[in-house]
């Protein structure tokens, strides 16, 4: 197996695994935030801001995997 | 009702003009990797291919677009604030609304002493928002879909945060912050561990800011590009350079991510300021 085939196999796999992880994390974060808003609707503004920060930090991990894919996909299929 | 209809027609025409240059550009592209819709700079560059002007346009594409966005913002704000009225007109009212909301938002996080950072952070938000949305206009490009642009923005934030930390805390306070504010003997014993962690943390912030914005906007551009390609491929048997606008739903997604990413960039920059500035009200976040 040459390195191009390896990259072609592992880049989507790695991105998928990263997406699973951040999906689980986002589910927990947003679910808890929704619960908190349901319990205290008057604090929804503050909770939403905190939730967006947390969601951005979690989502960044998948984006790093995506950036890696962008960086390495140029190496696939060259000639 | 007829007004809505006209808006729809204009939108459809805009989308179709977004598709047509793709069909023209796809055949001519060939060289290099292309994962964005062609914009008017690339089209001009192809017209002038081989000459130094074409080379210049190709190389300075993102800079030209970011300057265009900056010029657009300057123009709009200038028009709004050129002749301020006590009873504001539509544009002045709109700009004042945006600025007041931004100020309320940032002061809500940083507290009243953060008011002097509102111009920088608010401009950051407006600039990034306009750059993200510029990519949705046919024949335009989002400059934030390039890592150099986002890295430049996040380096600005990094330098300003360090400068503000040095200025507000003083040199000793800054070093104290880097040591994790040791107060007990146990914390002093762990200083050798905390200093590298804090330095790496400070250096990782701009990189993560830049990668987040770049990855999101590029991913969204590639998504739209692929669906435009799909729409053109569906009607390729007709040999007419128009396609089915399959990318339309993703424009709405792009509107959402463009706004959220601009907000997140500003919000995280504000948080970095809040972490660096001296906190006298510990525990009230």
Q: Do A49 and B267 touch (CB under 8 A)?
A: yes
pLDDT one-digit tens code per residue, A4-28: 888 889 999 999 999 999 999 999 9
Express each pLDDT in B115-136 by its tens digit: 889 999 999 999 999 999 998 8
CB B126 within 8 A of CB B141: no
Who wins on pLDDT, A79 or A77?
A77
Q: Which of A72-76, B16-20, B106-110 has the lowest mean pLDDT?
A: B16-20
Nearest-CB residue to A70 (from B218, B260, B264): B218
Q: What is the pLDDT of residue B180?
A: 80
Mean pLDDT for chain A overall: 88
* Residue B264 contacts A, CB cutoff 8 Å: yes
Q: What's the predicted TM-score (pTM) here?
A: 0.80
Residue B100 is predicted with a pLDDT of 93
Q: Does B274 touch chain A (CB under 8 A)?
A: no
Q: What is the mean pLDDT of residues B272-283?
A: 74
Please answer yes or no on whether B271 and A53 come within 8 Å at the CB atom. Answer: yes
Nearest CA among B123, B93, B126, B121 for reference residue B107: B121
Contact B260 A52 (CB under 8 A): yes
Residue A7, classified by CB atoms within 10 Å of its CB into exposed (0-12), middle (13-18) or buried (19+), is middle
Note the pLDDT of residue B193: 87
How many whole angstroms separate alpha carbon B259 and alpha carbon B129?
A: 6
Q: Are B211 and A64 in contact (CB under 8 A)?
A: yes
CA distance B116 to B226: 43
Q: Which of residues 2-31 of A touch B (CB under 8 A)?
A: none
pLDDT at position B6 is: 43
Q: What digits encode the pLDDT tens for the residues B218-253?
A: 988 888 888 888 888 888 787 777 778 888 888 998
pLDDT given for residue A20 in this prediction: 95
Q: Does B268 touch chain A (CB under 8 A)?
A: yes
B97 CA to chain A: closest CA distance, Å? 18
Domain locations along chain B: 2-276
Is the pLDDT score of B189 beyond 50?
yes
- The residue of B154, B205, B212, B273 whose CB has the most chain A CBs within 10 angstroms, and thus the best one to mutate to test that interface, is B212
CATH class of A13-73: mainly alpha
- Cα angle B31-B44-A78, degrees, rounded to a multiple of 5: 10
> Which pLDDT score, from 0 to 100, does residue B34 have?
57
Higher pLDDT, B9 or B171: B171
Q: What percent of chain B has pLDDT over 90?
A: 30
Confidence (pLDDT) at A36: 94
Q: Is residue B128 packed enough to be buried (19+ CB in 10 Å), middle (13-18) or exposed (0-12)?
A: buried
Tens-place pLDDT, residues B7-47: 444 434 444 444 444 444 443 333 344 567 778 888 888 88
How far apart (Å, rounded) are the C-alpha atoms in residues B83 and B86?
10
**What is the domain partition of chain A in residue ranges?**
13-73
Calculate how close chain A gets to B52, using CA atoms only, in Å: 27
Q: Is the pLDDT of residue B154 over 90?
A: yes
Q: Is the pLDDT of residue B285 over 70?
A: no
Question: Model confidence at B280, in pLDDT bands (50, 70, 90)?
Answer: low
Rounded to an integer, what distance in angstroms lies between the CA atom of residue B112 and that of residue B122? 15
């Amino acid at each position: 197996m040459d390195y191009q085939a390896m990259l072609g196999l592992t880049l989507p796999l790695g991105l998928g695994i990263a997406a699973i992880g951040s999906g689980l994390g986002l589910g927990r974060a947003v679910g808890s935030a929704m619960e908190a808003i349901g319990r205290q609707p008057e604090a929804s503004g503050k909770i939403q801001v905190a939730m967006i920060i947390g969601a951005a930090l979690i989502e960044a991990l998948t984006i790093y995997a995506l950036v890696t894919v962008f960086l390495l996909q140029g190496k696939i299929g060259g000639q | 009702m007829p007004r809505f209809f006209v808006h729809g027609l204009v939108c459809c025409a805009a989308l179709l003009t977004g598709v047509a240059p793709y069909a023209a550009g796809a055949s001519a592209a060939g060289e290099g990797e292309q994962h964005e819709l062609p914009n008017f700079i690339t089209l001009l560059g192809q017209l002038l291919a081989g000459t130094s002007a074409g080379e210049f346009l190709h190389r300075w594409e993102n800079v030209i677009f970011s300057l265009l966005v900056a010029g657009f913002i300057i123009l709009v704000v200038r028009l709004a604030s050129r002749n301020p009225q006590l009873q504001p007109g539509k544009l002045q009212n709109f700009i004042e609304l945006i600025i007041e909301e931004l100020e309320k938002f940032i002061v809500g996080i940083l507290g009243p002493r953060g008011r002097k950072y509102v111009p920088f952070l608010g401009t950051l938000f407006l600039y990034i928002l306009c750059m993200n949305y510029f990519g949705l206009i046919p024949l335009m490009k989002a400059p934030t879909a390039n890592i150099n642009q986002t890295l430049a923005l996040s380096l600005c934030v990094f330098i300003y945060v360090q400068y503000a930390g040095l200025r507000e805390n003083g040199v000793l306070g800054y070093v104290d912050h880097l040591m994790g504010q040791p107060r007990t003997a146990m914390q002093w014993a762990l200083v050798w561990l905390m200093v590298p962690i804090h330095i790496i943390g400070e250096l990782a912030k701009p990189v993560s800011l830049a990668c987040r914005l770049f990855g999101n906007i590029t991913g969204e551009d590639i998504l739209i590009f692929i669906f435009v390609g799909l729409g053109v491929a569906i009607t390729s048997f007709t040999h007419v350079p128009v396609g089915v606008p399959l990318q339309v739903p993703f424009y709405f997604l792009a509107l959402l991510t463009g706004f959220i990413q601009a907000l997140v960039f500003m919000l995280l920059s504000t948080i970095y300021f809040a972490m660096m500035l001296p906190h006298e009200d510990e525990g009230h976040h």
